[in-house]
Amino acid sequence: MQNTQPEFMKLRNHLETVIIGQDALVDRLLISLLTGGHLLLEGPPGLAKTTAVKAIASGVHASFQRIQFTPDLMPSDLTGADIYNPQSHQFDFIEGPVFNQIILADEINRAPPKIQSALLEAMQEHQVTVNGVTRNLPDLFLVMATQNPLEQSGTYPLPEAQLDRFLLHVKLDYPSPENELLILQKDRQNNQKASQARSNSTELSPISPQDVLQARSFVASTFIDEKLEKYIVDIVTSTRQIETLNPALAGYIEYGASPRASLALYKAASAMAYINGRDYVIPEDIHEVVADTLRHRIILNFNALSEGISKDDLIADIINQIVVP
């Protein structure tokens, strides 16, 4: 089996030229691709969330579809529907945009629950059921969703069951003044040399779906010591019984992370090791992705919200309290 790690490093370098000052975001995009786990990006407008997903889609030779989620979206707009064919006098199924390999669910929290239910089956089962007929989605199937945390008018909170299906929940913040200056200069250069920018965009040879699936096999075979496996389980189970680590934090978490979080943390850490050129997991790989893996799987109660304690604060406290093997 050929190692495709060099191709992914080329893709990583390409993404860093497109997404300036968001190195962590670049790694999360690659982790999603390497594990087949869905990705939720949250941040204010203008932080290149949509651009980031389009950039990684352009680096993979796979079908891509952007779906703008709106309150009037219907499940058939997502999954497809049976359309009557007057020539054959039969109903033909017309596939919806979800049958592509990489899906950009833009502003996912603007769609009502019935849309989220249709998307949930696709995310979890990699299949779509319409009128009692189940159809499989492509092997390389990813949902990369964005949401804006600032504007809440006309939005619907994502169900906890659906949030749990996202491998990572990445929160984006504004770039530093230095990086924002680089963004401005790069945009100006692209406007001045539009033809050259178009030619540069073709320099990267897209990775084939077969390369992605092969890389996933390498990630799945990444070695992890049994002590680190227990470390992962200790982290996740501590979200369900945080008072055993720090009695002062007792009563802040309504619901902790499920065993699916342990699997997600293991997969994300393995992909992080692969990105860093290793075939084994180290504690730093776990620490790098633990917040993005757990924050959407923890539900705080009123005490935590009233005292201004965030999920990231609690996750950081858990990491500080548990001894690293």
**Could you tell me if 249 and 308 lie in one domain?**
yes
**Could you tell me if 294 and 193 lie in one domain?**
no
User: Domain total for the chain?
Assistant: 2
Q: What value does the mean pLDDT of the chain take?
A: 88
For residue 247, tell me if it sits in a domain. Answer: yes
What is the per-residue pLDDT for 45?
81
For residue 215, tell me if it sits in a domain. Answer: no
Query: Structure tokens of 290?
Result: 């633990």
Query: How many whole angstroms separate alpha carbon 304 and alpha carbon 253?
Result: 7
On the question of pLDDT at 36 being above 90, the answer is yes
> In this structure, are residues 42 and 52 in contact, taking their beta carbons and an 8 Å threshold?
no
For residue 57, tell me if it sits in a domain. Answer: yes
**Could you tell me if 40 and 171 lie in one domain?**
yes
User: What ranges in 43-99 are assigned the alpha helix state H?
Assistant: 49-58, 75-79
Query: How many whole angstroms separate alpha carbon 201 and alpha carbon 59?
Result: 10
What is the per-residue pLDDT for 180?
82
Average pLDDT over residues 3-12: 80
**Could you tell me if 256 and 175 lie in one domain?**
no
**Could you tell me if 235 and 267 lie in one domain?**
yes
> In this structure, are residues 127 and 137 in contact, taking their beta carbons and an 8 Å threshold?
yes
- What b/e readout covers 159-198, taking b as 16+ CB neighbours within 10 angstroms? eeebebbbbbbbebeebeeeeeeeeeeeeeeeeeeeeeee
For residue 87, tell me if it sits in a domain. Answer: no
**Could you tell me if 156 and 289 lie in one domain?**
no
Query: Structure tokens of 284?
Result: 């730093």
Each residue of 239-272: pLDDT tens digit? 998 888 888 888 888 899 999 999 999 999 999 9
Query: How many whole angstroms separate alpha carbon 3 and alpha carbon 29?
Result: 19
Cα distances from 55 to residues 12, 50, 236, 289, 302, in angstroms, run 10, 9, 32, 21, 39
Each residue of 161-199: pLDDT tens digit? 889 999 999 998 887 888 888 878 877 776 666 545 444
Q: Indicate the residue among 152, 184, 199 that finishes a domain.
A: 199
Higher confidence at residue 17 or residue 238? Answer: 238
Judged on CB neighbours under 10 Å (0-12, 13-18, 19+), 288 is buried
* pLDDT confidence band for 200 (50 / 70 / 90): very low
On the question of pLDDT at 2 being above 70, the answer is no
Query: How many whole angstroms separate alpha carbon 19 and alpha carbon 234?
Result: 35
**Could you tell me if 239 and 316 lie in one domain?**
yes
On the question of pLDDT at 96 being above 90, the answer is yes
> In this structure, are residues 283 and 266 in contact, taking their beta carbons and an 8 Å threshold?
no
**Could you tell me if 123 and 53 lie in one domain?**
yes
* pLDDT confidence band for 80 (50 / 70 / 90): very high
For residue 86, tell me if it sits in a domain. Answer: no
**Could you tell me if 162 and 24 lie in one domain?**
yes
The phi, psi pair for 294, rounded to 5°, reads -105, -25
What is the per-residue pLDDT for 4?
67
What is the per-residue pLDDT for 196?
52
Instruction: Domain of residue 117: give its range.
Output: 5-71+99-199
On the question of pLDDT at 77 being above 90, the answer is yes
**Could you tell me if 276 and 185 lie in one domain?**
no
For residue 62, tell me if it sits in a domain. Answer: yes
Higher confidence at residue 318 or residue 149? Answer: 318
Query: How many whole angstroms separate alpha carbon 40 and alpha carbon 47?
Result: 14
On the question of pLDDT at 203 being above 60, the answer is no
Which helix (H) or strand (E) covers residue 170, if one does?
strand 166-171
For residue 76, tell me if it sits in a domain. Answer: no
**Could you tell me if 309 and 163 lie in one domain?**
no
Residue type present at position 89: H
**Could you tell me if 193 and 240 lie in one domain?**
no
> In this structure, are residues 68 and 107 in contact, taking their beta carbons and an 8 Å threshold?
yes
For residue 79, tell me if it sits in a domain. Answer: no
pTM: 0.89
Which CATH number is 44's domain given? 3.40.50.300
Which CATH number is 279's domain given? 1.10.8.80
On the question of pLDDT at 311 being above 70, the answer is yes
What is the per-residue pLDDT for 199?
44
Each residue of 126-136: pLDDT tens digit? 999 988 899 99
On the question of pLDDT at 151 being above 80, the answer is no
